[in-house]
């Protein structure tokens, strides 16, 4: 089993009120790691101390897209937090046309190179638009934009978000994970009704086949199972707690409790 972390965006409302208190709650629930997406005004060194004192680690960090202007800030923050994995993504317009996709490949290639030069590893976090439509005649036959960027940017790893990758039930997620398992060290585990714009659920309470998706990863490559819930109809802290309970109870991840 791989250790379980929480993407802190899930508890962003709690973080804005009391970032340290939110981290204490995450540790109490039993998460081994955290993946910040902003530090709510705290210095990374301060956050690192709190995380260390709580017996957790920073597995990776989300932030601005790596460019010549942002890479030093991204690398310095990641190093202070104790991770070498920096994550970003692109928007739907970045894959809308063949020209947009070409530009996106160039940007991702540069981001991966800049990260490597700074002693970091650059990972791509997907949404549904990278899985929404095969490229057809505009790319390799039947190839998804997600597949295209992994083929064209070999220096980049994938932080695969399994719920968005499902494109609301149209994509075989375990098959995608198995196909690209060699470049998926981080797996975002998310669940819900597979209905566009509908709230997510606690992991294990929705329609995703979570065990099959996790099992499809390469145990020699996968490092972290990371819970992320963008929105829930129920209390978010309760959903975060139930997600860990499900994943650890089913033997799909290792917690601190």
What's the rounded Cα separation, in Å, for the pair 99 and 84? 31
d(CA 248, CA 166): 23
Superfamily of domain 4-249: Divalent-metal-dependent TIM barrel enzymes (3.20.20.150)
Domain boundaries, the chain: 4-249
Yes or no: say if 124 and 87 are a contact pair by the CB < 8 Å rule: yes
The 3-state DSSP class for residue 66 equals: coil
The pLDDT, as a whole number, for residue 91 is: 96
Is there a contact between 32 and 250 (Cβ–Cβ < 8 Å)?
Answer: no
Give the pairing type, strands 157-161 and 121-125: parallel
pLDDT category at 141 given cuts 50, 70, 90 is low
**DSSP-derived 3-state class of residue 200:** strand
At 25-62, the pLDDT tens digits run 999 999 999 999 999 999 999 999 999 999 999 999 99
pLDDT digits (tens, 9 = 90+) for 77-125: 999 999 999 999 999 999 988 899 999 999 999 999 999 999 999 999 9
Paired strand residues for 61: 86
Q: What is the mean pLDDT of the chain?
A: 95
């Amino acid at each position: 089993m791989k250790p379980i972390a929480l993407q802190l965006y899930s508890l962003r409302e709690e973080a804005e009120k009391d970032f340290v208190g939110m981290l204490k709650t995450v540790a109490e629930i039993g998460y081994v790691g955290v993946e910040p997406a902003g530090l709510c005004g705290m210095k990374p060194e301060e956050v690192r101390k709190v995380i260390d004192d709580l017996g957790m680690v920073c597995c990776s960090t989300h932030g601005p897209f790596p460019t010549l202007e942002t890479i030093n800030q991204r690398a310095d923050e990641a190093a202070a937090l104790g991770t070498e994995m920096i994550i970003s993504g692109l928007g739907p317009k970045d894959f809308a046309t063949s020209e947009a996709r070409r530009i996106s490949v160039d940007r991702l290639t540069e981001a991966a190179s800049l990260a490597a030069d700074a002693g970091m590893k650059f990972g791509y976090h997907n949404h549904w638009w990278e899985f929404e439509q095969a490229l057809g005649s505009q790319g390799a036959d039947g190839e998804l934009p997600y597949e295209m960027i992994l083929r064209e940017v070999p220096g980049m790893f994938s932080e695969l978000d399994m719920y968005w990758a499902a494109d609301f039930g149209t994509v075989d997620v375990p098959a995608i994970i198995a196909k690209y398992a060699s470049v998926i060290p981080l797996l975002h585990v998310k669940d819900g009704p597979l209905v566009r714009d509908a709230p997510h659920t606690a992991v294990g309470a929705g329609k995703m086949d979570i065990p099959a998706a996790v099992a499809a990863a390469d145990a020699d490559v996968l490092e972290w199972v990371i819970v992320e819930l963008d929105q829930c109809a129920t209390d978010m802290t309760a959903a975060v707690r139930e997600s860990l309970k499900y994943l650890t109870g089913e033997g799909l991840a290792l917690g601190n409790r």
